[in-house]
Amino acid sequence: MADKSIPFMREISVDTRLITERLCLRAVALSDVEMTWSATRFDGFNDGMIWDRPKTRGQLVDRTQESLSLWKEGSLFTYTVELVDASTPIGRVAIKQTNALRVWNVGFWIHPEFWGQGYATEAARAVLDFGFSALHASKLVTAHAIWNIRSKRVIEKLGFRYTGKNPCGFRKQGKPEEEYEYEIESSAL
Ligand SMILES: CC(C)(COP(=O)(O)OP(=O)(O)OC[C@H]1O[C@@H](n2cnc3c(N)ncnc32)[C@H](O)[C@@H]1OP(=O)(O)O)[C@@H](O)C(=O)NCCC(=O)NCCS
């Protein structure tokens, strides 16, 4: 029988763990809703991300379930970042397939109470490794709103190369948001 699977989709167990020095990354879970809700209450937190501030916790429950479905489908792997010592959830890193073969997009956020300690960089680095080794990506791409200097710094520390400005990376309240775009190839790690 012919193999109908799409070659760039990958079957990855939802029990997968990515372990770093200080962090454990695991699949999103409904138990993260409170942490995510709390992060999204901080002024400005949502401004650099494609999604709008959720109005209810129920919206986060729906998003979590959708993320888990897409994980099982093999097109989006959304990891919750936990402190390895305490199993405290502190943020997310997601890797999503693009329309281009073997090119995946990486996005991340950390709860504002944990900013400035290198957690986003450490967590995203683990997902870059996952993208190249488990997903066999040939290239990873990412982007940030042009004013988002914290995100820019994380992307630079990860070793991404700037590729250009997108006049409408995403829309916020109907208005286009300019983004700087980046890429990295496995040989750069
Ligand atoms: C962007 C974000 C993920 C960074 O998380 P983090 O865990 O604080 O990131 P790190 O600690 O790994 O690195 C942050 C870097 O920004 C730097 N930084 C922080 N505030 C800064 C400022 N005002 N100006 C310049 N650099 C700044 C830090 O010094 C650090 O760089 P360094 O290691 O060279 O000192 C976090 O701010 C966030 O979740 N923001 C909201 C969501 C978001 O915008 N996500 C990205 C979408 S593209």
Domains located in the chain, CATH noted: 18-140 (3.40.630.30)
**Cα 163 from chain centroid (whole Å):** 19
**165: how many CB neighbours lie within 10 A of its CB?**
12
Does the CB atom of residue 144 touch ligand 1 within 6 A?
yes
Under DSSP, is residue 173 helix (H, G, I), strand (E, B) or coil?
A: coil
Does the CB atom of residue 45 touch ligand 1 within 6 A?
yes
Does the CB atom of residue 41 touch ligand 1 within 6 A?
no
**How confident is the model at residue 189, as a pLDDT?**
65
Q: How far is the CA of 45 from the centre of ligand 1 (A)?
A: 12
pLDDT beneath 70: ranges in the chain? 1-9, 188-189
Does the CB atom of residue 151 touch ligand 1 within 6 A?
yes
Does the CB atom of residue 142 touch ligand 1 within 6 A?
no
* Beta strands, E only, the chain: 18-19, 23-27, 76-83, 88-97, 103-110, 139-145, 161-172, 175-185
Q: How far is the CA of 150 from the centre of ligand 1 (A)?
A: 3
Question: Counting Cβ atoms within 10 Å, is residue 174 exposed (0-12), middle (13-18) or buried (19+)?
Answer: exposed
Q: What are 98-150's pLDDT values in tens digits?
A: 999 999 999 999 999 999 999 999 999 999 999 999 999 999 999 999 999 99
Provide the token pair at 93: 């890193």
Does the CB atom of residue 117 touch ligand 1 within 6 A?
yes
Answer whether 181's CB lies under 8 Å from 158's CB.
no
Nearest CA to ligand 1 atom 45: 109
Q: How far is the CA of 134 from the centre of ligand 1 (A)?
A: 27
Instruction: Say what the pTM is.
Output: 0.94
